[in-house]
Amino acid sequence: MAVKTKGQTFVFANPPHIVAHASIVGPEESKGPYSEYFDLHLDDAKYGEDSWEKGEERMAANAVDLSLDKASVTAADVDLMLGGDLLNQLITADFVARDLDTPFLGIYSACATLVEGLSLGAALMDGGFADCVVAFASSHYQTAERQYRTPLEYGVQYPPYKQFTVTAAGSYVLGWLGGDVWITHATMGKVIDLGVTDPNDLGSAMAPAAAEIILQNFKDLNRSPADYDLILTGDLGLTGKKVLTTLLEEKNIMAGDKLMDCGGEIFGGQEQYGSGGSGVGASAAFFGSVIIPRMKAGEFRRVLFVGTGALLSALTVKQKESIPAIAHAVVVEKIPGG
């Protein structure tokens, strides 16, 4: 077994390739500045189904199917599928897997779920347990709002730093051949809670977990921001990104323009979306559809992709618990000569 671990970081002896990726985004995301990058756009959040939950399920299922098509494989060729979402009991991912002839592990680390899936998938492949893995994740504005907050039409006033759940699904096919990028390392995060209790400010709750994993990755691999062309966080939003910048600067890490946040970018920073997007769909769709093509074009050669998750539930908020957060990271590089 050629797998080595440094601190919290897996170093892959044979980096698995991201062979294909597919994304589907909802109506609001389709209005954003990155709209054209995504594969499919929904103009109806229910996707023609009779409930939002079924709409999300169909969105995630179609993203998986599309990624398999792009990779020219069938569900039966896939050794293992890793998927998750934000809904209780992972209903979206479970119900997607119901219709596929593929072994499935449901995974959850809130909005870090996609990066958790890529990390686990790459580790299982490098460890020799699989040759083809699918990692997918989805989030949905309406299904998440009704689970975590109040009914959509309820006229409550949100603060300017509130984030809006992104309606999107992304699916990644990992294999040994094809694609333009591969996963060279994965850093597994610890749960961090610095006492944020405001469920409208998940970005600030998650920023310490993001800082923690970035520092850990630098420590384990003896790297600095100079070693990365981009440090891409999942869904800290504009406020969380500022908090992260401050936390890193206090540790003398000047990431500057190399920091980008999927949630902060996806709506184009418009005021009506507060601090930006949140939800695992943001990173699941954005990284594959926006960043991988830019890596292929040579704009970024090595990216630290950090998934950030707020581990709250509607119940813990009501019980006045603070919001624990987690972040995981993968190092994705352009395949040399590829």
Contact positions toward other proteins, by CB under 8 A? 50-53, 146, 150-161, 190, 192, 194-196, 201, 204, 208, 211-212, 215-216, 219, 239, 242-243, 246-247, 251, 275, 322
DSSP states of 154-218:
--PPPPTT-EEE--EEEEEEEESS-SSEEEEEEEPPPPB------TT-HHHHHHHHHHHHHHHHH
Q: Cβ of residue 55: shortest distance to other proteins, in angstroms?
A: 10
Nearer to other proteins, 33 or 159 (CB): 159
The burial of 226, by beta-carbon neighbours within 10 Å (0-12 exposed, 13-18 middle, 19 or more buried), is given as exposed
Instruction: Find out whether 269 and 276 touch, Cβ atoms under 8 Å.
Output: yes
Nearer to other proteins, 123 or 210 (CB): 210
Distance CA 103, CA 267 (A): 35
Q: Cβ of residue 169: shortest distance to other proteins, in angstroms?
A: 20
Q: Cβ of residue 284: shortest distance to other proteins, in angstroms?
A: 25
Nearer to other proteins, 72 or 150 (CB): 150
Distance CA 82, CA 74 (A): 16
Nearer to other proteins, 5 or 150 (CB): 150
Amino acid letter, 314: A
Q: Cβ of residue 20: shortest distance to other proteins, in angstroms?
A: 34
Distance CA 137, CA 115 (A): 9
Amino acid letter, 182: W
- 305 bridge partner residues: 232, 330
User: Is the sign of the CA dihedral 318, 321, 322, 326 positive or negative?
Assistant: negative
* Nearest one of 264, 263, 64 to 167, comparing CA atoms: 263
Question: Element (H or E) spanning 327, and its range?
Answer: strand 325-334
Q: Cβ of residue 302: shortest distance to other proteins, in angstroms?
A: 21
Nearer to other proteins, 22 or 196 (CB): 196
* Nearest one of 282, 306, 337, 325 to 144, comparing CA atoms: 282
Distance CA 263, CA 275 (A): 8
Q: Cβ of residue 96: shortest distance to other proteins, in angstroms?
A: 19
Q: Cβ of residue 273: shortest distance to other proteins, in angstroms?
A: 12
Nearer to other proteins, 129 or 158 (CB): 158
- 259 bridge partner residues: 231
Q: Cβ of residue 218: shortest distance to other proteins, in angstroms?
A: 9
Nearer to other proteins, 22 or 209 (CB): 209
Nearer to other proteins, 191 or 297 (CB): 191
Q: Cβ of residue 309: shortest distance to other proteins, in angstroms?
A: 16
Nearer to other proteins, 252 or 298 (CB): 252
Question: Element (H or E) spanning 27, and its range?
Answer: helix 27-30
Q: Which 8-state DSSP code applies to residue 311?
A: -
